[in-house]
Amino acid sequence: MGGTYAGCILRVNLTTGEIKKEKPDPALLRKYIGGRGLASYYLNQLMDPAAEPLSPENVLIFATGPLTGTSAPAGGRYMVVCKSPLTGLIASSNSGGHFGAELKAAGYDMIILEGAAKEPVYLAIKDEAVELRPAAELWGLETDVVTDQLREEFGDEKAKVACIGPAGENLVRFACVINDKHRAAGRSGVGAVMGAKKLKAIIVRGRKRPVAPDEEVFKNFVREKTEILRTNPVTGEGLPKLGTKVLDNIINENGLYPTRNFQTGVFEGTEEVCGEALVEKGYLKKNRGCYACPIKCARVTALPTGSRGEGPEYESGWAYGACCGVKDLIAVTEANFLCNRLGIDTISCGVTIACAMELFERGYLPKEDLGPGPALNFGSSEAIVYYTHAVAYRKGFGDKLAEGAARLAQAYGHPELAMTVKKQELPAYDPRGAQAQGLAYATSNRGGCHVRAYLIAPEILGIPEKLDPSSTEGKAQWVKAFQDLTAVIDSLGICLFTSFALSAEDYRDLLAAATGFDYTLEEMMRCGERIWNLERVFNLKAGLDPKEDTLPKRLLTEAMPEGPNKGQVVRLSEMLPEYYKVRGWEEGRPTPEKLRELDLA
């Protein structure tokens, strides 16, 4: 084994308590890179994709990539991979902070958790020493409290913690894993899988540094790429200054800022909840960066109420703001803080509440069903805070919301009001204003998602070049290219935000120098395509019907009522067949030839 891999995979059987270490095969590393790719490979190997996500048969993987924990800029990412209880498909959620780098420093590329504990446990890792310990006293605690308590117990303030909150314990279908108190492996309910396994937390401390085969060469690349990030207007200025919330006004002015459950793309309250307002109102206290990050887009915030935390990020602020019609930046930020403490995905929770608001306002959801909870009108600042709390504990109507928008809308006889793809809630871009993004949503391997392929970059921001967002022409090829490159980036262990500035060549440079594998650009991109197809194979085995490669009816048939995209719908049928074609798929399935070409069969 060489390069920046730790060279060890930690395997933990929670049913038996057995802990093993094994060396990964170098050929597998080269083929799947690490992180998302390698974890997807193991998931396919170790579990039946048709298994019930909340059963012990599910496999939960924490995976770093070859750049995780190195000096590569923003090289602090890790992935949580398993089968999702929200979508029933593959889940692979990415997170930053410092946990991933610490796991690598302790000497592990991945942790593979199988089975399920009978009583709550946590996993304690101090370099070579690995132990499962009882967590009965931690069960029920919020993520920040768990983190503090575990660190104290562990006796090392520098130890890093990834854990679940009450939402994960209570199997909320969109519960997340929180690391370093404020960073989330957010989507697809990976926290519920951890909860079902009765694994409350992983605490890790390590003292090794990953070393590249030729450190001098690697460091030169690191310096070069860091400089590119520092001088780029997005990663060097926009994101450092306003964080991800730099986007609120841009997306709203472009008319694709989904408002009141995607009923329109223009939010009249943007001025009150945008990134600029967070700064001006004095809620932003300072910026913070993840491990080795020169961008530092995280926001440390405090409210007049005395609440402190991080965020909201653009997506979180939107989900609780525009999507719920709420103009109260304090309530939006409180709801975001709550999500972090309770271990809830902000996007899914906000969009599910928005769905309930539309059901309520249209009279499909009777007030009695809310019990003692506040009325679910769009704009209710109380509702977003109250029901977020109720979701985590599955209290009252929170129990129904905890199932996600798709199951909620279905239960009330109006599935068309769930703004979901493959049962996962859509993020903060109305695809009626960005056709390629619509295709990317429809074909995402983990359901409604913007970070499997962020076509907003070319369609709206003009990165790396400006595309006409209303055109469908050639978009299939763009989506495929973005999906494949993103699969690579997520496998590297570097932050996706670097891709605003770095090119595929830049990633190749870092990857080759870190691993010592002489990747060509073509080989690296084939890895990305391989990972994408492998995830698709998992999903098909899990029971995915390619007909689910679609969007909520609203986005396909209801014309955008106002703004720059007035009159538009997503013309998915103009793009999907071409997408299958460029993917080499037939009827939405990879052909045997394609699988052979990718060395997957």
Q: Which is nearer to a copy of itself, 60 or 356 (CB)?
A: 356
SS3 (DSSP) at 519: coil
Q: Which is nearer to a copy of itself, 125 or 376 (CB)?
A: 376
Binding flags for a copy of itself, 240-279, as an x/- string (CB under 8 A): --------------------------------x----x--
Residue whose tokens read 């009583």: 119
Q: Which is nearer to a copy of itself, 250 or 279 (CB)?
A: 279
| Omega cis (within 30) before 564 | no
Q: Does 370 bind a copy of itself (CB under 8 A)?
A: no
Least Cβ distance, residue 379 to a copy of itself (angstroms)? 9
Least Cβ distance, residue 157 to a copy of itself (angstroms)? 24
Q: Does 135 bind a copy of itself (CB under 8 A)?
A: no
In the DSSP assignment, the letter for residue 25 is: P
Report how far residue 506's alpha carbon sits from residue 490's, in angstroms, rounded to the nearest whole number: 15
Q: How far is CA 520 from the centre of its chain?
A: 28
Q: Does 389 bind a copy of itself (CB under 8 A)?
A: yes
SS3 (DSSP) at 114: strand
- Which of 55, 249, 287, 307 contacts a copy of itself by CB under 8 A? 307
Inter-CA distances, 257 with 320, 404, 441, 476, 560, Å: 13, 21, 15, 23, 11
Least Cβ distance, residue 320 to a copy of itself (angstroms)? 13
Long-range contact pairs involving 15-23 (C-beta distance under 8 Å, separation at least 24): 15/56, 15/114, 15/115, 15/116, 15/117, 16/115, 17/117, 17/132, 19/130, 19/131, 19/132, 21/130
For residue 1, give the nearest of 524, 528, 531, 516 by alpha carbon.
516
Q: Which is nearer to a copy of itself, 109 or 334 (CB)?
A: 334
Q: Does 546 bind a copy of itself (CB under 8 A)?
A: no
Q: Does 145 bind a copy of itself (CB under 8 A)?
A: no
Q: Which is nearer to a copy of itself, 380 or 568 (CB)?
A: 380
Q: Does 368 bind a copy of itself (CB under 8 A)?
A: no
Q: Does 361 bind a copy of itself (CB under 8 A)?
A: no
Angle at 568 between CA 446 and CA 573, to 5 degrees: 55
* Piece in contact with a copy of itself (CB under 8 A), picked from 55-63, 147-155, 170-178, 388-396: 388-396
Least Cβ distance, residue 389 to a copy of itself (angstroms)? 3
Pairing of strands 199-205, 160-163: antiparallel
Long-range contact pairs involving 117-120 (C-beta distance under 8 Å, separation at least 24): 117/14, 117/15, 117/17, 117/197, 117/198, 117/199, 118/198, 119/198, 120/198, 120/199, 120/200
Report how far residue 180's alpha carbon sits from residue 98's, in angstroms, rounded to the nearest whole number: 7
Q: Which of residues 323-342 bind a copy of itself (CB under 8 A)?
A: 327-331, 334, 337-338, 341
Q: Which is nearer to a copy of itself, 335 or 467 (CB)?
A: 335
Least Cβ distance, residue 373 to a copy of itself (angstroms)? 7
Q: State the helix-helix crossing angle for 435-443 and 475-492, rounded to 10 degrees.
A: 60
Q: Does 282 bind a copy of itself (CB under 8 A)?
A: yes
Least Cβ distance, residue 405 to a copy of itself (angstroms)? 21
Q: Does 305 bind a copy of itself (CB under 8 A)?
A: yes
- Which of 385, 449, 496, 575 contacts a copy of itself by CB under 8 A? 385
| Residues of this chain that bind a copy of itself (CB under 8 A) | 272, 277, 280-282, 303-307, 327-331, 334, 337-338, 341, 372-375, 380-382, 385-386, 388-390
